[in-house]
A and B are shown apart, each in its own frame.
Chain A
């Protein structure tokens, strides 16, 4: 692998050398490397045996959010001398099979998401029967304990939605559009229900095709043009915030756009004021804490949360905090 990397490096360097005439003095890979060098990494900080932990999530392919969770988990794995394995599938049956595979391998700990709890029940029972400690993250706080997991780390989606509703009240909004980009996602329904619970005005749900950004923009734009009284748009994922802003600008609407979750672009938009606020559930923490808690359990039989879920959110992020968070978002940890 190392030799392969070297060859790739040489090839890339050759290509770069050929195009050196057109260099950028700002941003790009060089700036990223400088940032990386300044951020944490390094070796193990403990001398416990090299345990293997497997993380199995319901993420689809190429999802920013789960990338951040993975970054957190990997950072903790380096520190705790853990061999960290990651796998994912958005089909419940496949995800259960991946848990089975981890149990077959005889890993020392399993971290799993319960977006489709009933499908994971049997697989988790197999894990606990085999004596493998399990921690659930992100989704499934209600089922975590019943399925025999040590603890659950994540955000209660209803509470997060309620926080958004309250913040919108504070900003004097009257009519909100809640944009659901994944039909069939229970967590998303809970978020919009939470907004509806605390928001004093009216909340309308808008279902969009999340895998097709231009369709998302067209749907939001059409809705904003059709209903001029909408003065707030809530998106449920960071990648959709920018799309909603574009749709709002094209439609000439004055609606304030706010979003769940964070990425570099959202942080930048918060800073320049195109986004009102974001509500973050700190995915990095979900990955990091899960690995760390498993390590603590193996090393010291510790558990956290006293039988209740450990909450990583909601955290309301506004213009004031955005500047500080932007650099963290850019390196893929917020």
Chain B
């Protein structure tokens, strides 16, 4: 400590670029992603072909779209176990509303957005009002949504999947927005990749460049301390849950418009996938630490492993084992990198 440093607030100290890089939450996961990529590039040659990479990116984007707001929520110190089935709910609502009302498909999409946001609001509102842990609140929502997905679909459509809306007005334009395929240099890329990157950019800007971002970190770091310094804790948490809803709506519309029929029983268990992606990407389970870019890298690792095992022609029975091992390794690496970074500050 020199005399000048005593004069300057420690938060305004200039740190070297390398130190700053080491302090980033996603650094460990980037190293992990490179390792996974190199590994599969060596064992499976179709993995690194353009068509193979496009499939991997698509798989990553379907997870990543949801991993972004889930990561934000985890930075804010909360969980959302209803995120997986919410995607299915959102798709079911659009499809059935349009079909039953014989309305333009966009009407269903709009209604679905409102209802899905309402579910997110419900999660956040219950959390702030009851003071119960988010684990319990969203577990309840998860179970209720699972039942409602099946129950309502069976009640309204008479079967367990929705009826096709492919021949209705507005379907083509909605498909173009949510589920089109872009051909770049002879390779097909799904539009979800763009949605995903857009969400990552938006979330990163919110986290790092706005007041709301500071609120999220503050709420996750310490609720009472944050409230004491004037952070609107309740509004922030409700907003985070509605962010998850918004992404669930995007993912749900993609599900609907790429397949045009939705199976009501799906989405169960996906919520853990999103949480895993966020954790691999450097989010702490305890909150207050993490990044949106990290969640994207986590989703990419997940997608690479998921499809890489297929490209490498391994026995898929072992997939979950590798996933678990990778989760542990990535999290250990994160912890180690973080410890080093803090030690050199």
Residues of chain A having any CB pair with chain B under 8 Å: 61-62, 85-88, 91-94, 96-98, 100-106, 116-119, 121-122, 182-186, 189
Contact = CB atoms under 8 A, between A and B. Distances in A.
B150 interface: yes
With most chain A CB atoms within 10 A of its CB, the pick from B62, B164, B259 is B259
26 contacts: A61-B317, A61-B320, A85-B310, A85-B313, A86-B316, A91-B266, A92-B259, A92-B263, A92-B266, A93-B255, A94-B59, A97-B55, A97-B59, A100-B55, A101-B55, A102-B310, A103-B51, A116-B259, A117-B261, A119-B263, A122-B258, A182-B265, A183-B150, A184-B150, A185-B160, A186-B160
Given A86-B316, A184-B150, A97 B259 contact: no
Given A86-B316, A97-B55, A106-B46, A116 B307 contact: no
B49 interface: yes
A93 B62 contact: yes
Given A85-B313, A87-B310, A118-B164, A97 B58 contact: yes
A184 B265 contact: yes
Contacts of A85: 310, 313
Contact of B159 (A92, A93, A104, A186): A186
B258 A116 contact: no
Interface string B170-183: 00000000000000
Nearest to A103: B51
Contacts, number: 82
A68 B22 CA distance: 51
> Shortest 10 CB-CB distances between A and B: which pairs?
A184-B265, A118-B261, A119-B259, A184-B160, A104-B51, A104-B52, A105-B46, A101-B310, A100-B55, A87-B316
**B interface bracket (residues with beta carbon within 8 Å of A):** 20 to 34
**Chain B interface secondary structure, helix, strand, loop or mixed?**
helix
A97 B307 contact: yes
Contacts of A184: 150, 160-161, 263-265
Given A104-B49, A118-B261, A186-B161, 15 more contacts: A91-B266, A93-B259, A94-B306, A104-B46, A104-B54, A105-B52, A116-B261, A116-B263, A118-B260, A119-B258, A119-B259, A122-B258, A182-B265, A184-B161, A185-B265
A105 B263 contact: no
A111 to B, nearest CB: 15
With most chain A CB atoms within 10 A of its CB, the pick from B46, B261, B263, B317 is B263
Contacts of A182: 265
Contacts of B54: 104
A2 B8 CA distance: 65
Contacts of A98: 310
B320 A105 contact: no
Contacts of B59: 94, 97
B311 A101 contact: yes
A107 B284 CA distance: 42
A88 B316 contact: yes
B59 to A, nearest CB: 5
B103 to A, nearest CB: 21
A15 to B, nearest CB: 22
A62 B321 CA distance: 14
Given A93-B255, A93-B259, A189-B160, A183 B265 contact: yes
Contacts of A97: 55, 58-59, 307
Nearest to B316: A87
Contacts of A96: 259
B311 A104 contact: yes
